Amino acid sequence: MIDPARRSIDVDLEALPRHVAIIMDGNRRWAKRRALPAIEGHRRGIVSLRRVTRAASDLGIGVLTVYGFSTENWNRDAREISLLFDLCVYFARNELAELMRNNVRVRVIGDWESLPPGPRGALASLQSGTAANTGLLLNLAVNYSSHAELARAVRAIARDVAAGTLKADAVDEALIGRYLYTADLPELDLLIRPGGEHRLSNFLLYQAAYAELVLSDVLWPDFSRDDLVRALIEYQQRERRFGGA
């Protein structure tokens, strides 16, 4: 465990990643190992999200994007999905005071507006309630798929070309980026995946092109401030070459 007194020494606060993303993985396995229902793992995952959000805010990270619910998650048991939406409503209603104390602004990305009325309304309220905050931007990726995001961007570009407001030969990598959910955000610097898996799971595929990947065997409900600090230290120890020699 990292000694809290050494954090300011180990982590260079002048060289923090501007944009960190986390795949919050391992909730169900955490619960299974303890003979608990899957939803209990998801509940504990919310506690970890609160803890890591506070830590990121305290450290001065600008943007934190977390994978909350993927489009593939619709394939899970209907009761688990319903309980996940209940948790979404719980999070949106009960975390507002904590987010306000920490000056955190929330934004939701993905096809979240197609969710049922309960979670959709709760997420909309959370965004509007924190809109004036000026600290950490917390992006919640809900009903998100990177493939779907790219398809959405291509359709929008095609419409603009057809309407004559965009020339086809103007389409380049930078322009594609401006049609993504993350258009106004810093480039993704660091992607962390707890839970022991070694894949991106259809998360921020375009944005992660040159992101540093840090994989951890710690299941998300156990992921702590110290684990975040370890990931940041590992990031700072790497040489980022962006495809160069």
Task: List residues with catalytic annotation.
Answer: 25, 73
Paired with 109 in beta bridges are 141
Burial of 133 (0-12, 13-18, 19+ CB in 10 A): middle
Distance CA 214, CA 242 (A): 16
105-109: strand order across its sheet: 105-109, 137-144, 63-70, 19-23, 190-193, 212-215
Contact indicator for 136, 53 with CB cutoff of 8 Å: yes
Which amino acid is it at 120? R
Contact indicator for 119, 90 with CB cutoff of 8 Å: no
Query: In the chain, where does DSSP find H-type helix?
Result: 7-10, 27-33, 38-59, 78-94, 96-101, 117-130, 146-163, 173-178, 225-237
Residues 6+ apart with CB under 8 A from 35: none
| DSSP state for residue 62 in the 8-state scheme | S
Residues 6+ apart with CB under 8 A from 50: 95, 98
